[in-house]
Amino acid sequence: MRLIADTHTHTIASTHAYGTVIEMARGAAEKGLPILGMTDHAPSMPDSPDLWHFGNLRQLPPVIEGVRVLRGCELNLMDCTGKVDLDEHFLQKMEWVVCSMHPEVIAPGSVEENTEAVLNLLKNPYVDVFGHPGANCYRFDYERVVPLFKDSGKYIEFNASSVTFREGAAENMFTIAKLCKEHRVEVIVNTDAHSPFRVGEFEKATDILAAADFPEELIVNADLGRFEKALANRRVPVSL
């Protein structure tokens, strides 16, 4: 399987990452990826850039080093009500939005509380990707929630970095993969690269999908036409 976009990556604007936007784009070009998502951490994370970073993304051209760079962010889900850490003024400027749960921002809850949080994430029209959903500490009711992603315009992420360091992620993502397959829910595969060297290193995530005998046509970034259609059909038109 060949993937055409890596839509969850961090530049040095998130201070525990190590590549400039040019270096990250070059990393994508070297891997033959025509599309890269630049999704630095929204302001609640300790390593996040100033709010101004998110308001000034129009300074970047759409194509860098021959790669289409989507100007985006990784939002934090902050509580069960679905509160996030960038308001509409900023979200309207985003071409791509990942939204994730991080222990630095949202304390792990009970399965019921985590489920409520994810159900509220589903209601946010600005979110494109539910980032690294597999951690044990954020276990939610997979059987109930995963089918609701079908045709929601949001993609469940298979995150290559997460499966190596988030406890339970590999096993839980296998369960989620089987549910997505059963209910025909589209997913996305990303690296969450924090350096140019990791861009396009999808194997840890694609291994899980392969083990689940996952249908390629349900992977939104496994085909350029499919992904471009998803971009064109985003619920929220971008106003830079």
Binding-site ranges for Zn ion (CB under 5 A): 74, 100, 192
In the complex, least distance from residue 8 CB atom to Zn ion, rounded to whole angstroms: 6
108 to each of 12, 84, 114, 136, how far by Cα in Å?
27, 16, 7, 9
Closer residue to Zn ion (CB): 48 or 100: 100
Closer residue to Zn ion (CB): 85 or 192: 192
Calculated CA dihedral for residues 118, 128, 189, 28, nearest 10 degrees: -140
Side chain identity at 45, as an amino acid letter? M
Closer residue to Zn ion (CB): 44 or 100: 100
Closer residue to Zn ion (CB): 46 or 215: 46
In the complex, least distance from residue 29 CB atom to Zn ion, rounded to whole angstroms: 21
What phi and psi, each to the nearest 5 degrees, are found at residue 35?
Answer: -135, 135
Residue in 126, 144, 123 with CA at minimum distance from that of residue 239: 126
Closer residue to Zn ion (CB): 6 or 116: 6
Cβ neighbours around 229 below 10 Å, total: 11
Residue in 149, 69, 124 with CA at minimum distance from that of residue 133: 149
In the complex, least distance from residue 125 CB atom to Zn ion, rounded to whole angstroms: 21
| Residue closest to Zn ion, measured at CB | 100
What is the rounded CA–CA span in Å between residue 25 and residue 237?
A: 24
What is the rounded CA–CA span in Å between residue 47 and residue 24?
A: 18
In the complex, least distance from residue 184 CB atom to Zn ion, rounded to whole angstroms: 26
In the complex, least distance from residue 1 CB atom to Zn ion, rounded to whole angstroms: 22
